[in-house]
Amino acid sequence: MRRILFFFLILSISHALAFAQVRVTIQAPSQTEEGQRIRVSYVVNTQDVEDIQVGDFPGFELLFGPSTSSSSSFSMVNGKTTHSSQMTFTYTLLATKEGTYRLPAATVKSGGKTYKSNQASIEVMKGDASAQSGQGGQQSQPSRMRTQNAGDRITKDDLYITVTASKHRLYEQEAVLITYKLYTLVSIDQCRGDMPELDGFHTQEIELPQQKSLKYERVNGRNYGTVVWSQYVLFPQKTGKLTVPAITFEADVVQQDRSIDPFDAFFGGGSSLVRVKKTIVAPAVELQVDPLPTRPANFSGAVGTQFAISGSLTPEQVDANDAVSLRLVVSGVGNMKLMKAPSVPWPKDFETYDPKTNDKSRIGTNGASGNVVYDYTAVPRHGGRYTIPPVEFCYFDTGTKSYKTLRTDSFHLAVAKTASGSLRRGHSQEDLTVLNSDIRYIKTAAADVKSAGATFFGSLTYALSYLGALALFLLMVAIFYRQAKANANVAHRRGKKAGKAAAKRLKSAAKLLKQGESRPFYEEVMRALWGYVGDKLNLPVTDLSKDNVGEQLQQRGVGEELVGRFLHVLSDCEFAQYAPGDPADTMDRIYSDATKVINELDSCL
C-alpha cells in the first residue's frame, strides 16, 4: 500500500513539474539619456536553466554581462508548502544614440525546451550636459535627479510647477480638471501643497499614487524629471470670471555638503546630505463660467454626458397596507454628487417616504462617473390596479449644449383588498398611525399602574443612586489625575512610544527594500536605530554618539553582548551604503538584524 501511495506521489510531482510553465520576463527602465548606464535583466522563474541567448542591443554599448544571480523561497500556509526559485541574468549597457529602441528578447533553454521572453522599449533622450557633469558619469534613471552641492542656488528653472486646466470656458456645474505638474532638475525628498478652500467651486481631489515616479521630459534643451503631483476636479457653482488662486508648495531639496569629511560622516553615523526648503508658487488659473440656458421645470441639476436612467418595482403584487419598493438607477459622467433625486408620480392615496440614496460614483478626470441608486418606499392604502407613470430625469448635456429628458417605463402594481381596520404582515400599529382619517389606533397593551404615594423621590433607590454617582465621580477624578501625571512626564511618554516609532520607520524601510531603493532604505533604517535609542534613553540629538549610547545602555542594565550587536548593526548600515556586493542580500540582512536588535532592546528596557 505504501509503495502504491509513493508511486502516485512521485507521478503527481512529475506531472506538475512537466506542466510547470517557465516564464522569462525582461526588466529595464523606460527612459535614459545619452552617455548614461542602465541595467537590463532577464528573469527566469526557475533555476533549471541550461543556456541563454540574447541578441544585440541597438543604440547601446554592452559594458558587462551577463552577471547571474539566483534566489529561492519557501512558504507554508495552512500546512501547505510552496517553493519558488528564479535565475536573473543582468547586462550593463551604455546608451550611445538618441532614439527609441526595442530591447531584444532572450531565448532560454530549460528542461530540454526553449522559452522566449517578452520585449521592451526604451527611449534614449539627448544628453543634458549640465546634468551629466553634476552626476560625474554615474548611472542615471528618471527617478534620480542630480544632487547639488550645499549652498548652490536653486533657481526657478531648476524646480517649478505648472498648472493646466482641461478647459478655460465652461458652463455652471460643468466639471473642469486642474492639474499640477512638477518639473525638476534637482533631487527632491518631499513636496507639500494643498488646494485652499475655493469660493464658488465644489472641489474633489483625484487620488494619485503616494509613491511618485519621475519621467524624463525635454524642455528648452534640458531633461527634466516630471510627475503629475496633484489633480482636482472643480464644479463651478457661480457664473462669470472665477479664479483658482495660486498655490504655494514647499519642497525639500537634497544637497551634498562637501565640507563634511566623508570619513566622519561614514564612521560618525551621520550623512553628508542636507535638505534645503524651497518655496514654489504654482500660478493662478482664470476660468470663464457661463450660465446654463433657461432651465426646464423638471431639471434635476445634473450636468454632464452619457446619462441614463432605469427603474424596477418590487413586488408587483401586494396587499393593501403592505410596502412596495421602487429602485431608480441614474448613471453618467458629470456632477453626480450634486444632482437631485428624481420625483416619482405616486398615486394620491399612497403613503410615501423620502428616498434613500446610495452614491456609487467615482471621481475621475471628466468628473464623477458611475451610478447613483435611489430607493423609494410607498404604502398603498386601498386595493385595485395602479399604473405609476414613467419617471423623468432631465439633465444638461455638455456635449450637445442642450437639455435632455430621459424616462423610465411605466410601472404596474396590483393591490389586494384587506378586511376593514386590519393590518397585514410586516407593519405594526405604531408604524402606520393614521389611515387617511383622524382616528388613531387604540393601544391594547396593559397600562403601567402604580399605587398612590409610591414615588421615586426619597426612596432607598433614590439614595443609592446618589451614592453611586458620587463614587463614580471620585473614580473619574482619580483616573484623570493619574493620566495627567503620566502626560506630564514627557520623558516617560517619549520612551513609551519609542518602539512604535521605530516599527513605523522599519515599515517604511521594508517598502524601500521591496523597491530596491538602497540609499533611502539605509537612511530609514538608521533613523529607526538612532531614533529608538534617542527616545528610549531620552537623549537629545547632540548626545547621540556610539560611545555615549553604549554607556547609557549598559547603565540601564543592557548586556554588553546586546549593546555590541546594536552598535555593530549601526556600523554595518553605514558601511553597506558604499560597500560592493549583492545590494539585495545586504539590505535583507541589515533589515533583519535591525528588527531583531530593536525588539530585543525593547524587551530588555
| Enclosing H/E stretch for 500 | helix 498-515
Give me the pLDDT at residue 453, please: 54
Residue 7 has pLDDT above 70, yes or no: no
Task: Compute the distance between CA of residue 158 and CA of residue 350 in angstroms, rounded to an integer.
Answer: 69
Percent of the residues in the chain that have a pLDDT greater than 90, as a whole number:
29
Range scoring the smallest mean pLDDT among 108-122, 147-161, 205-219, 566-580? 566-580
Question: Which domains are assigned to the chain?
Answer: 20-127 (2.60.40.740), 132-290 (no CATH), 300-416 (2.60.40.1510), 492-604 (1.20.120)
pTM above 0.85, yes or no: no
- Kindly give the residue spans of alpha helices, DSSP state H, lying in 259-328: 262-267
Is residue 220's pLDDT more than 90? no
pLDDT of residue 180: 94
For the chain, report the end-to-end CA distance as a whole number of angstroms: 58
Which pLDDT band holds residue 259 (cuts at 50, 70, 90)? low
C-beta of residue 190 within 8 angstroms of C-beta of residue 251: yes
Which one-letter amino acid corresponds to residue 388? I
The answer, yes or no, to whether residue 140 has pLDDT greater than 80, is no
The fraction of the chain above a pLDDT of 70, given in percent, is: 78
- Please identify which residue in the block is written with the cell numbers 554599448: 61
Task: Give pLDDT, residue 137.
Answer: 38
State the Rg of the chain over Cα. Answer: 36
pLDDT of residue 416: 92
Q: What pLDDT, on a 0 to 100 scale, did the predictor assign at position 432?
A: 44
Q: Report whether pLDDT(355) > 60.
A: yes
Least confident interval from 411-425, 512-526, 536-550: 411-425
Residue that is written with C-alpha cell 559594458 in the block: 63
pLDDT recorded at residue 437? 47
The C-alpha cell that represents 473 in the structure block: 465621580
What pLDDT is stored for residue 303 in this prediction? 95
**99-103/37-44 β-pairing:** unpaired
Q: Which range, 75-84, 141-150, 293-302, has the best average confidence (pLDDT)?
A: 293-302
Confidence of residue 38 (pLDDT cuts 50, 70, 90): confident
Q: Considering the chain, what is the average pLDDT of its residues? A: 80
- The closest alpha carbon to 33, from 137, 182, 120, 159, belongs to 137
Q: What is the average per-residue pLDDT within 409-415?
A: 94
Based on the number of CB atoms within 10 Å of its own CB, is 36 exposed (0-12), middle (13-18) or buried (19 or more)? buried
Mean pLDDT, to the nearest integer, of 130-139?
A: 42
More confident residue, 572 or 161: 161
Q: Band the pLDDT of 183: cuts 50, 70, 90.
A: very high
pLDDT at 426 over 50: no
pLDDT of residue 563: 82
Cis geometry, peptide bond prior to residue 66 (ω within 30 degrees of 0): yes
Contacts of 549 (CB under 8 A, 6+ apart): 533, 537, 539, 566, 567
Q: CA-CA distance, 43 to 111, in Å (whole number)? A: 16
Is the pLDDT at 159 greater than 50? The verdict is yes
Secondary structure of 325-382 as H, E, C letters = EEEEEEEEEECHHHCCCCCCCCCCCEEECCCEEEECCEEECCEEEEEEEEEEEEEECC
How far apart are the C-alpha atoms of 171 and 335, rounded to whole Å? 12
Identify which of 187, 233, 242 has the alpha carbon closest to the alpha carbon of residue 208.
233
Residue 491: the pLDDT is 57
Provide the strand spans (E) within 154-298: 159-165, 169-171, 176-184, 188-192, 201-206, 215-219, 222-236, 240-244, 247-256, 273-282, 285-290
Residue with cell 548614461: 36
